[in-house]
Amino acid sequence: MEHPADRRRFTRIPFDAECEMHTTDGRATVLRLADISLHGALAEADKPLPLNVGDVAELQIYLTNDILIRMPVRLVHAEPPGYGFRTGKMDLDSISHLRRLVELNLGDETLLERELDQLVSG
């Protein structure tokens, strides 16, 4: 049987940072980002999140004081304290910052271009 990680087309980048999750009803929760990819993110929370699988939210990831990635997400799995999110359509600035973050961590432009192609075609 194929392991789910074997089907992944996007490289996960370990990335330890605090981020905020904003729900549609305006609630904000601070999470710890565990990893990120062009396709989603894995975060951990100290308390159960007010989301069910399928719910949408926005992750806000501060890379520096003036660089913010706004990542519209859908919760795809919840195994507290871990929560897996799939990325929605991001604004141009956010996708540019995420692309640069992935590029710096992959260290392989060919792999990055392959993942970007899969993101666009998938």
pLDDT reading at 28 higher than 90: no
Tell me what pLDDT residue 121 has: 60
CB atoms closer than 10 angstroms to residue 23: 15
**CATH class (in words) of the domain with range 4-121:** mainly beta
The alpha-carbon radius of gyration of the chain (Å, integer) is 14
Predicted TM-score (pTM) of the model is 0.78
pLDDT tens per residue, range 80-96 = 999 999 999 999 999 88
pLDDT reading at 71 higher than 80: yes
Q: In 3D, which of 44, 38, 40 has the Cα closest to residue 16?
A: 44
Q: Tell me whether residue 36 is exposed, middle or buried, using C-beta atoms within 10 angstroms of its C-beta: 0 to 12, 13 to 18, 19 or more.
A: buried
**Per-residue confidence band for 53, with pLDDT thresholds at 50, 70 and 90:** very high
**Domain chopping of the chain, boundaries:** 4-121
